[in-house]
């Protein structure tokens, strides 16, 4: 099974890929455009390239949660909707998880901090010790959650 995890963000979208050999990689899409809608287009083009290049069985997304800023919530929802349309137009299935589900699966605590999630991902999941952005770490946590929920734990065959 191959899976792509995506952590949607209008200024930085994290992504990760878990392949059949449990090779885990990740990165960050940082749009160069200034206009919000052009950023969304740029991010979706990158997501489409990732999906086309890696041909995953599933794409895992974080569900929208509340923001303190309503405008930020609206922009996040617009981006998420565009990403969902992009993924579906590529013919891929989507699975979604709430931040609490992701934190619970990765750390055992649904209210864990971002630091605790990063610690788990870096110590227990990542085999190459390249430092990833917080967005990419979140995407790895999303993909990891999907693999666990689908009954495939990527840690079982990782080499240390």
36 vs 15: CA distance, rounded Å: 20
Structure tokens, 95: 């699975």
Where does residue 129 rank: exposed (0-12), middle (13-18), buried (19+ CB within 10 A)?
exposed
User: Could you write out the three-class secondary structure of the chain?
Assistant: CCEEEEECCCCCEEEEEECCCCCEEEEEECCCCCCHHHHHHHHHHHHHHHHHHHCCCEEEEECCCCCCCHHHHHHHHHHHHHHHHHHHHCCCEEEEECHHHHHHHHHCCCCCCHHHHHHHHHHHHCCCCCCCCHHHHHHHHHHHHHHHHCCCCHHHHCCC
154 vs 148: CA distance, rounded Å: 8
11 vs 34: CA distance, rounded Å: 10
Model pLDDT, residue 117? 95
Model pLDDT, residue 73? 87
- 102 CB contacts (<8 Å, ≥6 apart)? 62, 117, 138, 141, 142, 145
Model pLDDT, residue 127? 67
**Is the predicted pLDDT of residue 159 greater than 60, yes or no?**
no
Model pLDDT, residue 155? 52
| This prediction's pTM | 0.90
Which region among 2-6, 16-20, 129-133, 151-155 has the lowest average model confidence (pLDDT)? 151-155
pLDDT tens track for 7-59: 999 999 999 998 876 778 899 999 999 999 999 999 999 999 999 999 999 99
CB 3 within 8 A of CB 58: yes
41 vs 52: CA distance, rounded Å: 16
pLDDT tens track for 94-149: 999 999 999 999 999 999 999 999 999 988 887 666 788 999 999 999 999 999 99
Mean pLDDT of 68-90: 93
Write down the CATH number for the domain with range 3-155: 3.30.420.10
**Is the predicted pLDDT of residue 156 greater than 50, yes or no?**
no
**Is the predicted pLDDT of residue 153 greater than 90, yes or no?**
no
Model pLDDT, residue 40? 98
């Amino acid at each position: 099974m191959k899976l792509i995890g995506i952590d949607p963000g209008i200024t930085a979208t994290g992504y990760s890929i878990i392949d059949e050999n449990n090779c885990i990689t990740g990165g960050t899409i940082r749009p160069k455009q200034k206009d919000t809608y052009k950023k969304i287009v740029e991010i979706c083009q990158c997501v489409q390239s990732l999906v086309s290049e890696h041909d995953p069985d599933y794409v895992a997304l974080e569900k929208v949660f509340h923001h303190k800023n309503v405008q930020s919530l609206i922009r996040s929802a617009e981006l998420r909707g565009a990403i969902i349309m992009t993924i579906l137009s590529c013919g891929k299935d989507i699975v979604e998880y709430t931040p609490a589900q992701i934190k619970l699966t990765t750390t055992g605590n649904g209210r864990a901090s971002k630091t605790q999630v990063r610690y788990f991902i870096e110590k227990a999941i990542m085999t190459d010790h390249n430092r990833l952005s917080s967005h990419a770490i979140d995407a790895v946590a999303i993909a990891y959650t999907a693999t666990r929920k689908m009954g495939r734990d990527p840690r079982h065959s990782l080499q240390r």
